[in-house]
Amino acid sequence: MVDTLIRGGTVVTESDTFEADIGITGERIVTVGDETEMSEAETVVDATDKLVLPGVVDPHVHIDDMFSFDTYESASKAAALGGTTTFIDFAWEAWVGETSLWDEPGTILEGIERKRDKAEKPVVDFGLHGAITREDESVFEEIEAVIEAGVPTFKLFTAYEFGLRNGFMDRTFRELADHDAIAVLHSEDADLLDYLADRFQAEGKGDPEWYPRSRPDYAEAMAAEDAVRMAMEAGCRYYGIHTTCRKSAEVLAQYREAFGEEMVRAETCTHYTTLDDSIFEEMGLLPMIAPPIRKPADNDAMFEHLARGTLDVVSTDHCGYTKESKQVDNWWDSKFGANALQTSLPVFHDEAINERDYSYPFLVRTMCTNPARVFGLSEKGTLEPGTDADVLVFDPEATYTITAEDNASVADFSIYEGREVTGRVEKTFVRGELVADDGEIVGEPGHGRFVERDLPDWEF
Ligand SMILES: [Zn+2]
In a domain, 112, yes or no: yes
In a domain, 3, yes or no: no
**φ, ψ for residue 412, nearest 5 deg:** -105, 30
Half-sphere exposure (Cβ direction) of 44: Cα atoms closer than 13 Å: 11
Ligand 1 center–CA 157 separation, angstroms: 10
In a domain, 450, yes or no: no
pLDDT > 80? residue 42 = yes
Say what the pLDDT of residue 263 is: 98
Ligand 1 center–CA 360 separation, angstroms: 26
Ligand 1 center–CA 89 separation, angstroms: 9
Ligand 1 center–CA 118 separation, angstroms: 19
Distance CA 242, CA 250 (A): 14
Where in the sequence is the domain holding 284, given as residue range(s)?
Answer: 63-374
Contact 364, 53 (CB under 8 A): yes
Cβ-based neighbours of 277, under 8 Å, separated by 6 or more? 209, 212, 292, 293, 294, 295
Ligand 1 center–CA 43 separation, angstroms: 39
Average pLDDT (57-86) is: 97
Q: What percent of the chain has pLDDT over 70?
A: 99
Domain tally, the chain: 1
Residue 321: closest CA among 66, 58, 97: 66
Distance CA 316, CA 228 (A): 22
Cβ-based neighbours of 216, under 8 Å, separated by 6 or more? 192, 196
Ligand 1 center–CA 60 separation, angstroms: 6
Say what the pLDDT of residue 40 is: 83
Q: Which of 34-43, 115-124, 379-388 has the lowest mean pLDDT?
A: 34-43
In a domain, 382, yes or no: no
Average pLDDT (419-428) is: 98
Pairing of strands 51-54, 391-401: antiparallel
Ligand 1 center–CA 10 separation, angstroms: 34
**CATH code of 324's domain:** 3.20.20.140
Please tell me whether residue 98 adopts helix, strand or coil conformation.
Answer: coil
Ligand 1 center–CA 376 separation, angstroms: 19
In a domain, 329, yes or no: yes
Q: Which residues surround ligand 1, an ion (CB under 5 A)?
A: 317
pLDDT > 80? residue 36 = no
Q: Give the tens place of pLDDT for each residue, 275-287.
A: 999 999 999 999 9
pLDDT > 90? residue 439 = yes
Q: Give the tens place of pLDDT for each residue, 187-239.
A: 999 999 999 999 999 999 999 999 999 999 999 999 999 999 999 999 999 99
pLDDT > 90? residue 44 = yes
Ligand 1 center–CA 1 separation, angstroms: 44
In a domain, 233, yes or no: yes
Please tell me whether residue 25 adopts helix, strand or coil conformation.
Answer: strand
Pairing of strands 313-315, 264-269: parallel
Whole-model pTM: value is 0.98
Say what the pLDDT of residue 1 is: 86
Average pLDDT (373-389) is: 98
Identify any residues that bridge with 36 across adjacent strands, giving them in sequence order.
none
The radius of gyration of the chain's CA atoms, rounded to the nearest angstrom, is 21
